[in-house]
Amino acid sequence: MRSSNVPLPALLASLGVVVGGCSAPVADDVASATGSTTEAIVLVERSVAEGEFVQTNVSAKFMRLASGADPEVAERVVGGSWLELPAAGECVALTPFAAAEDADALAGLGTIELLDVGDLSIQAGTTRMPLATRAFPDVGAFVSGVFYTSRDAQSDLPAPARYVLESTGSATLNPFAIEADAPSAPEQVRLGEAALADGLLLEEEAAATLRWTASEAPAVGDLVYVDLTDPSGTGVRCAYNDSGEGVIPESVLGKKTWGALPAQVALSVHRIRQGGFAAAGVDAGELRFDLSVVVRATIVAASP
């Protein structure tokens, strides 16, 4: 995702980022000298479902791209980290990614090399999670190399907390350590007068007010977003400033969006914090925390 317009220094400050290791070269200098750039994408996800069932996922990809390649298209090709996020107060339709729709962009992308950065781990407090190195599945001649993921989705990660992402380095990239502050997960979430729980009912073309406890320690650019998705992955995403209240507009709760009613959907409320980081050999890095609560809901026809 590259949707933020916040300058890099502000993004670093918003994450509370502290970077260790050698200083990073200027991206334009690297691109002109090597004909390529290195983009890092690190994603920390924590999701709580009904019954307090917690799932976590950490993923990290270090992509070497041809100079001039579109990092957003590259993210979509390698998968797992792309996030289409509307501006606060707006909604967007969600559709499964179809590579054919980006044929022109793919033609100019060139190859993507996913770099080995040595042993990679993430730590919060006393909880340390070594990440597993995995070979990337063959995607024609586009992508090669390795990426990093958490080994166990059942390993809980604290929030809020300060996180440390640390690499031992490799022949490709020097060792580095990055510290960043994760926000708290959404709490005391209510839809109208009802607590967020499985079995919620949303009425056709009736706006629904979403409330949550606003963050006590907000950072620049923090957002809350809500996803309504059907089993196919089609749905709607709406984003809000982290003020404690937002409205799901009536326009997204109708038959034009969902077809025949009633419609079964997953409703997830996310707090997101994202920002850039710099490290030796990395021209542009992005670290994103995405903490959510998820329930099942039903969109029903309007009462006669």
55-70: per-residue pLDDT in tens?
999 999 999 998 878 8
Amino acid at 21: G
Q: Which residue has the higher pLDDT, 49 or 98?
A: 49
Cα torsion angle, 129, 242, 236, 208, sign: positive
Half-sphere exposure of 94 (CA within 13 A, CB side): 24
> How many other C-beta atoms can be found within 10 angstroms of the C-beta atom of residue 245?
13
Contact residues for 185 (Cβ-Cβ < 8 A; gap 6+): 46, 48, 159, 271, 291, 292, 293
102 confidence band (pLDDT: 50, 70, 90): low
Q: What are the tens digits of pLDDT across the range 169-219?
A: 999 999 999 999 999 999 999 999 899 998 999 999 999 999 999 998 888
Looking at every residue in the chain, the average pLDDT score rounds to 84
List the helix and strand counts (H, then E) for the chain. Answer: 5, 20
Half-sphere exposure of 179 (CA within 13 A, CB side): 9
**What's the Cα-to-Cα distance from 263 to each of 92, 189, 231, rounded to whole Å?**
19, 22, 10
Q: How far apart are CA 145 and CA 133, in angstroms?
A: 10
Residue with tokens 């999701």, as numbered in its chain: 47
* Mean of pLDDT values over 234-240: 95
* Mean of pLDDT values over 20-43: 60
25 confidence band (pLDDT: 50, 70, 90): very low
- Whether residue 235 contacts residue 265, with contact meaning beta carbons closer than 8 Å, is answered with yes
At 81 the pLDDT is 74
At 31 the pLDDT is 41
Cα torsion angle, 145, 284, 119, 121, sign: negative
Residue with tokens 């949303």, as numbered in its chain: 202
245 confidence band (pLDDT: 50, 70, 90): very high
Least confident of 26-30, 97-101, 107-111, 257-261: 26-30
At 139 the pLDDT is 60
